[in-house]
Amino acid sequence: MPRVAGIVMFEDQFWGRAALQRARKLNSLRALAFAPHPTHIKFSDMPEPLLIAKSERPLYLLPAMSNRHGLIAGATGTGKTITLQVMAEAFSRIGVPVFAADVKGDLSGISQPGVENPKIAERVRKLNLSDFSFAGCPVTFWDVFGEQGHPVRATVSEMGPLLFSRLLNLNETQSGVLTAVFKIADDQGLLLLDLKDLQAMLQYAAENAKQFQAQYGNISAASVGAMQRGLLALEQQGGDKFLGEPALNLDDLLQTDSQGRGVVNILAADKLINSPKLYATFLLWLLSELFEKLPEVGDPEKPKLVFFFDEAHLLFSDLPKVIEDKVHQVVRLVRSKGVGVFFVTQNPTDVPDGILGQLGNRVQHALRAFTPKDQKAVKAAAQTFRPNPDVNVEQAILELAVGEALVSFLDEKGAPEIVERALICPPRSQIGPITPEQRKQIMQNSVLAGVYDTMVDRESAYERLKGRAAPSAVPQQADPASKPWYGDLLGSGSAGGRRGDSLVEAMAKSAARTMGSSLGRQIVRGVLGSLLGGGSRR
């Protein structure tokens, strides 16, 4: 049964705040029946449930449950990307911006209205979609390499030592050294923005390893050498384009157009996917940024952003346990920031159990079962659904046609509905890629044209270290220009006070909040560590 599109509104003084919140949560007219003395009723523009598929009945993805995450799984060519497209279109229609990585380039078609074709017409007829019409979505293209979209960048210090360790494939010892190098940079007020800053910083730390040893531990030449080689490889993969400024302003991902439709942000990932570590690390970084920068919203009526993570198996393959735990944590916590994360992958077993358990909205396309291992995976996938006596899930998974799936979305109380075998709606936008000319046109007409196009190279560690001979051994003796930006806040006696001092941390934190200067934020992030940097903020 489709829910009534509209929540009942009333005056707070007659109906207490708690009841109001409860009603919002239940998100249903039913709440009214139990509410004391509703006095004044009107309908607001509560977002409509999103029709994604139909079995005997229509299957709706509820906007209020979309921050409880989801999974789109299925073998190659079974309809995952189109399902993603149909969901993204629906979110866009209700004003929710979307971020999706486009691994094969075929998602770009979402920017254009679809065209009549017999297969679509047949599906529209079968599903009896009376209000179906072709339409494209507003789209912003992004590209780490700056070719097929606006360049998207992060600074080295925003990435933090943990993600960098993953990117460079470091072992524990090397990763410890890298963390020390980040700390030295922080203590000396040296900004790590781009790859050459990090390269310069590594060299500086290695050359002065003796002076740093007492405070930061052993900075071995072998570890530094390994990192330098790693950085070189990263540069060859295009990491030098991705790391630097102007860094991405997250607000630019949270846009709606003049008609109130959510903008679909498409990251060109066809080339990026050839560097799986860079791809996975980048998306992980983005997720952690969203988590850090967005305010708490609890359980909103609709998400602030929905994030589709295609080829998700790349994220999890040989993921070190520490990072897996962090991903788990970010996925769990980002929900209260109103961000929904949908993983797209071939097999649900690609996703670690702890994370899989958090993915409430499920679309399972066909799987193949050639080997005993495949068969086991099919069984495992089948068991993740709430059973339906009318559907033999294990058998159905093997029989599903293209664009057909086993579907279970969360109901209004957050419980999974029983699984249904259903046909996914056809997309309203174009199936398949757009032409390079069309892409160029969209990029030129974008409000972001020119904002990120040119890389800026402001004074940072590389420039500061050029020509500097010996390090200042301890932060207290650092020259005034390089003392931490929050030094003055701590009183003259303790400028650049000892690290790990909780008062210093607390002050730095609160100062960063009030000042909000980007320089301050970058250093504080380094000092305190982001969630992904293994910090203790939560």
Ligand X SMILES: Nc1ncnc2c1ncn2[C@@H]1O[C@H](COP(=O)(O)OP(=O)(O)OP(=O)(O)O)[C@@H](O)[C@H]1O
Residues that bind ligand X (CB under 6 A): 74, 76-82, 104, 123, 402-403, 424, 426, 431
CA distance 88 to 97: 8
Of 78 and 361, which has the nearer Cβ to ligand X?
78
Of 79 and 176, which has the nearer Cβ to ligand X?
79
The minimum distance between CB 484 and Mg ion, in angstroms, equals: 47
Contact by Cβ (8 Å): 460, 194? yes
384: how many CB neighbours lie within 10 A of its CB?
A: 21
The minimum distance between CB 431 and ligand X, in angstroms, equals: 5
Of 81 and 157, which has the nearer Cβ to Mg ion?
81
The minimum distance between CB 359 and ligand X, in angstroms, equals: 17
Identify which of 479, 515, 511 has the alpha carbon closest to the alpha carbon of residue 496.
479
74 interacts with, out of Mg ion, ligand X, none, CB within 5 to 8 A per kind: ligand X
Choices 81-89, 118-126, 261-269, 378-386 (CB under 5 A): range interacting with Mg ion? 81-89
Of 188 and 349, which has the nearer Cβ to ligand X?
349
Of 80 and 365, which has the nearer Cβ to Mg ion?
80
Rounded to whole angstroms, what are the CA distances from 468 to 156, 198, 244? 21, 15, 22
Identify which of 107, 79, 60 has the alpha carbon closest to the alpha carbon of residue 308.
107
User: Hey, what long-range contacts does 328-334 have (CB within 8 A, 24 or more apart)?
Assistant: 328/352, 328/354, 328/355, 328/358, 329/531, 329/538, 330/284, 330/287, 330/288, 330/291, 330/531, 330/532, 331/69, 331/287, 331/355, 331/358, 332/358, 333/291, 333/531, 333/538, 334/287, 334/290, 334/291
The minimum distance between CB 104 and Mg ion, in angstroms, equals: 6
The minimum distance between CB 426 and ligand X, in angstroms, equals: 4
Of 431 and 443, which has the nearer Cβ to ligand X?
431
303 interacts with, out of ligand X, Mg ion, none, CB within 5 to 8 A per kind: none
The minimum distance between CB 47 and ligand X, in angstroms, equals: 22
CA 403 centroid distance within chain: 26
| Those residues with Cβ within 8 angstroms of residue 180's Cβ, 6 or more apart along the chain or in another chain | 205, 212, 216, 217, 219
Choose which of 27, 81, 85, 199 interacts with Mg ion (CB under 5 A). Answer: 81
78 interacts with, out of ligand X, Mg ion, none, CB within 5 to 8 A per kind: ligand X
Of 209 and 273, which has the nearer Cβ to ligand X?
273
82 interacts with, out of ligand X, Mg ion, none, CB within 5 to 8 A per kind: ligand X
* 29 φ, ψ (degrees, to nearest 5): -60, -25
Binding site residues, Mg ion, CB under 5 A: 80-81
